[in-house]
Structure 1
Amino acid sequence: MYGKKRRRGMNMSARRQQLSTVLALAVAVLAISSSGPLIAFAAAPALAVAFWRNGLAFTVLTPISLGPRRPELVHMPRRAWTYCLLAGVALAAHFALWMPSVQLGSVATATALVATQPVWQGLIAAGQGRAPSRAGWIGIVLAVAGAVWTTGIDFGVSPQAVFADVLAVLGAVAAAVYVALGEQARTSSSTTTYTWVCYGTCAVGLLGICLAAGVPLHGYAPTTWLAVLALVAGAQLLGHSMFSYALHHVSATAVSVLVLLEVPGAALLAWAWLGQTIRADRVPGLVLLVAGVAAVVVGGRSRMPTASVEL
């Protein structure tokens, strides 16, 4: 009798854990899907939005990093500090490239192209002697074909749309470099400490770019500040936190595949909220691109962290 009650209790606990994991993943996907539409909605320069997004996230994490996590900061190896700082520089490059692409082009295309990050991650791994599997290489070919299909259509739209596509692809490359550096940094630093140093470095870099380019950092409408705060609370903190929680219960591969739901999620939000419709001739390229990235994530031998994203 006691054994049966104990098993029932364990089954109920497992079901509650599964439910909480599913809810966490649903919240995370929704949070990161809101990133592109919020950036497009914000009536402020993309570089300024990128600065505030990282600067405010850094501010939120500061009491923890300088409080309970302070001993880790003090004793963190110099090598880890170096990789944290370099990762922050790469993250700044990612935001400086991708976020303007969202405002210059369409949310759906920019989100899809930046989702090619695992493809570039696979190529970086191959350069390090950790080549992807055959399925990974097939995925790379499919993703590149999908990107060419999607961006090739934009040559008939406008030079600005093409420029936006190029920025999005370069943003994906910068994100891959950021993750590769983050892999090295995380070997001897916690998530909180690494994120705090990285976001802080990124914010300083973006601040320098904004000041040099004369980008205004204030004087925005209240709705723009609300969009920035939503980015910080949603994509920057809530999305990453929920994915990190889910990693205790599901595989990194499963989470990486779920991150791809940002592409249709962002497209649907942009359609419902901003009225950005998806052109019919662009859909096959987007589908091919997402399928290719999924193949890279699932079939690649190299370890591809789930911190993609927007990035």
Structure 2
Amino acid sequence: MTTVHRLLDDAFAGVEPSPEVQDLKEEIRANLEARAAELQAEGATPDHAARRAFDELGDVRAIVADAQADVAAETGGAPRTALQEAFVAAQQHRVRPTPRFVLGVVLASVVLVALVAMCLLTPLGVVALPGYVVAALLLTAASAAGFVVGLSLSQETTTNHPVPSRRAGGYYLATGLTVLALLLALFTVLGIFDAWMYVVAGAAFVVGGTLFTLLGVTQTNRKKAWVRDVARAHATGHHYDRFEHDPAAAARFGVYTVVIWLVAFVVFVVLGLTVGWAWSWLTFVVALAVMMLVLARMLFRSTEEQQKK
């Protein structure tokens, strides 16, 4: 079977390896996989999609040579395709992670895993930590998870501009609340907390999910200009982001989402007090499914619908 990975490895077989070449190879791989996925969505087979994406790419060795040369001095060369321009720009403007960012993410991840593992020792009978200690450790672990997400979004990458600090903080809070809700529910099932903790977990999940939704529907396209240009070159005939073109639809979806989760929380509490907390959490699964259906219905508009506008 022909795949992007095999074709890319064959294309780079005669290229002298170096850190810069490897970075460019991974950048090309990501773009080719995205393009092949688009072609498969249009009905192409995986083999045909991979080969067509490579045909659109052109000569890989020429791209590597262009990326390693001073582009400013190449005014007399043959014009490059949109994909080739994107790869050259990716090589020129590659953003490497700072040591502080790497250290922060690694430490936060270690803290997250270590605290959750420590809490799991209680239901396993290895240690007997009080409930409030377990809750405090889980809160810290959830905060670490949110820190990883927020810090990652606040970094500029090869493809995207950094998210503003306040918005990254919003993702930190939303992630922390969602992870905390899942951890509290898990340890309540394991018998560490009383049943009322389901209410706390449900409230945290509702707030976190609502915050995620609000952040998502208000997110703007923060990709660099040269990435947007390449994306627009392949946008013809595909579905488009309705929320980006119709702010009113984004606002309606935000209202629908808040209503869905408020109703879900009320039903969760009612079922917990009547039927029992063991099954009432399924309310949130249903609410999530409803929200995804509403999102799928509102977010995208087919090509035929676009042509009718």
The answer to whether TM tops 0.5 is: no
Give TM-score scaled by structure 1 length.
0.28
Task: Tell me which of the two structures has the higher relative contact order, counting C-alpha pairs closer than 8 angstroms and 6 or more residues apart.
Answer: 1
Larger radius of gyration: 2
* Greater helix fraction, Structure 1 or Structure 2: 1
